[in-house]
Chains A and B, each alone.
Chain A
Amino acid sequence: GAGVSQSPRYKVAKRGQDVALRCDPISGHVSLFWYQQALGQGPEFLTYFQNEAQLDKSGLPSDRFFAERPEGSVSTLKIQRTQQEDSAVYLCASSLRGTGGTEAFFGQGTRLTVV
């Protein structure tokens, strides 16, 4: 596809369940970002990849959150033992390069609801 694709679009998880969220960036894009967006708030940075290297994971809220991008393209955000406070929209973005002069394109997001 032409844009960033995320799946699933919606996910309902029972508290304590593990979830995996997938991001397919635009082909050839070096940089990939994950964001968390709570209801009524702006997106909050979680982690950043340049190719397969995770260069910044300072935004991950706890060690229950784990992200990978093993081949430098598709990325997966995993949340273990989900809690109600994890309910949010998870956004993925990619950009051709990681530098400030290039735009980042966002996917539609995955809405996670923990019940």
Chain B
Amino acid sequence: DAKTTQPTSMDCAEGRAANLPCNHSTISGNEYVYWYRQIHSQGPQYIIHGLKNNETNEMASLIITEDRKSSTLILPHATLRDTAVYYCIVRGYYGGSQGNLIFGKGTKLSVKP
């Protein structure tokens, strides 16, 4: 079973920041938080991951709470092309089946003009 909970859907206005929350209250110390998105008819696309520090790359920022029980993915200036299902996943550090990605249902983000 997925170890994360996310809202089923969210809307965001084009050009505004999209803030996607994720709850992972049972995360253990050696597990990373990963975010992927899936645009219709494509394979999942990696966005960002982190352990305990906030992370930023060219696509997004990841804010992880100090207790690591929740996180927020931020798309700073959402465009229509960011409309997709966003998956928050916890992934074990030590590999093998612990390194597997367990997907939940994700959040369907709709960016509107």
Contact = CB atoms under 8 A, between A and B. Distances in A.
Residue of A41, A91, A105, A106 contacting most chain B CB atoms (<10 Å): A106
Interface residues of B, number: 31
Contacts of A44: 103
A109 interface: yes
A89 to B, nearest CB: 8
B21 interface: no
B100 A56 contact: yes
Contacts of B34: 103
Interface in A79-115: 91, 93, 95, 97-101, 103-109
A99 B93 CA distance: 5
A105 B43 CA distance: 9
Interface in A6-51: 31, 33, 35, 41-45, 48, 50
B99 A100 contact: yes
Contacts of A4: 43
A56 B32 contact: no
28 contacts: A4-B43, A31-B95, A35-B103, A41-B105, A42-B2, A42-B85, A42-B87, A43-B44, A45-B101, A48-B96, A48-B99, A50-B95, A55-B97, A56-B96, A91-B44, A93-B43, A95-B99, A98-B96, A99-B94, A99-B99, A100-B30, A100-B92, A100-B94, A100-B99, A106-B43, A108-B42, A108-B43, A109-B42
Given A4-B43, A100-B92, A105-B46, 16 more contacts: A31-B95, A35-B103, A42-B2, A42-B104, A48-B96, A48-B97, A56-B96, A56-B100, A91-B44, A97-B95, A98-B99, A99-B94, A100-B32, A100-B93, A103-B49, A104-B101
Interface of A: 4, 31, 33, 35, 41-45, 48, 50, 55-56, 58, 91, 93, 95, 97-101, 103-109
